[in-house]
A = this chain, B = another copy of it.
């Protein structure tokens, strides 16, 4: 969308980051995931918590990436680990596995999970398959397929449960950014306050989910779980629509202008199950939270009820993209607000 005589000063996204990370893309994806210590430490703990189930056993790592989980499993005593990875990072995984002297145990298999053949069934499947908002570009399909094809009956899934949560929020950053336009007159003597409406429309008319860290103070109620996936049982057919109801009671007076959606996954364990949470109330992960703006802010008070239905389903345009559809009402009395409806599409 370049017009002669129009300006594309800013590229589609901030040029600094875009160009920086596009160059780095191959490596920075993995740098970010490894550097996310909530993620990597929880997987490490989960694997060692289940050491008795892994020792002497066969493990399949679905979407192994740099192979870090496979190395953990080898360190935990696995007899054999199949590290399946479709992208070219598999070559780096092989080097890392050699460098850590577990190449007799870990076998890197370069290919799509659906297309590879393993020489045997496995006792354990480990996978870090979660995408933004859990299901965006997730590899859950592949994990399910791996489970159905390769996991022995009664085998161990790591993790074995995924849960989705929603909460109303008041996003102050948006309000602050909108305030910019009213400052221009003081700075340059040109009144640009009329840009505020346009700017607000650019945000609220957007049909895109924003991935960013939500500040705890901006969350307006206890988050509510609206869906749960049992990874021992869920089928691919269930992923065409992951939905549920929610009822949130607001903490106090605030301008409710967005929902945030996030997830957790749980690992089985002999003592306590271990939870990897991406809640705004927990330490930040690289998944941050998914934010869906309302088309207008709604004033809420203590105990104002925000309720509705969420439906998450694959986008038409690309089945690995996720749409989140929220139907909601605000207020104790029905009809106080007409149900608004919006569709958010998390694009690449």
Contact = CB atoms under 8 A, between A and B. Distances in A.
A227 to B, nearest CB: 21
A3 B99 CA distance: 27
A247 B203 CA distance: 48
A195 B66 contact: yes
A188 B44 contact: yes
A336 B229 CA distance: 64
Given A66-B192, A177-B31, A25 B12 contact: yes
A211 interface: yes
B10 A28 contact: yes
Nearest to A41: B188
A225 to B, nearest CB: 23
Given A5-B84, A9-B29, A85-B5, A23 B195 contact: no
Contact of A194 (B23, B95, B206, B212): B95
Interface in A211-234: 211-213
29 contacts: A2-B320, A3-B87, A4-B141, A5-B63, A5-B142, A6-B85, A6-B87, A7-B29, A8-B137, A10-B21, A12-B348, A13-B13, A15-B211, A15-B288, A16-B288, A19-B211, A24-B203, A26-B198, A27-B199, A30-B195, A31-B177, A44-B189, A66-B192, A75-B189, A92-B198, A96-B191, A96-B194, A96-B195, A99-B193
Interface of A: 2-35, 37, 40-41, 44, 62-63, 65-66, 68, 71-72, 75, 84-87, 89, 92, 95-96, 99-100, 111-115, 129, 131-132, 137, 139, 141-142, 177, 180-181, 184, 187-195, 198-199, 202-203, 206, 208-213, 286, 288, 318, 320, 346-348
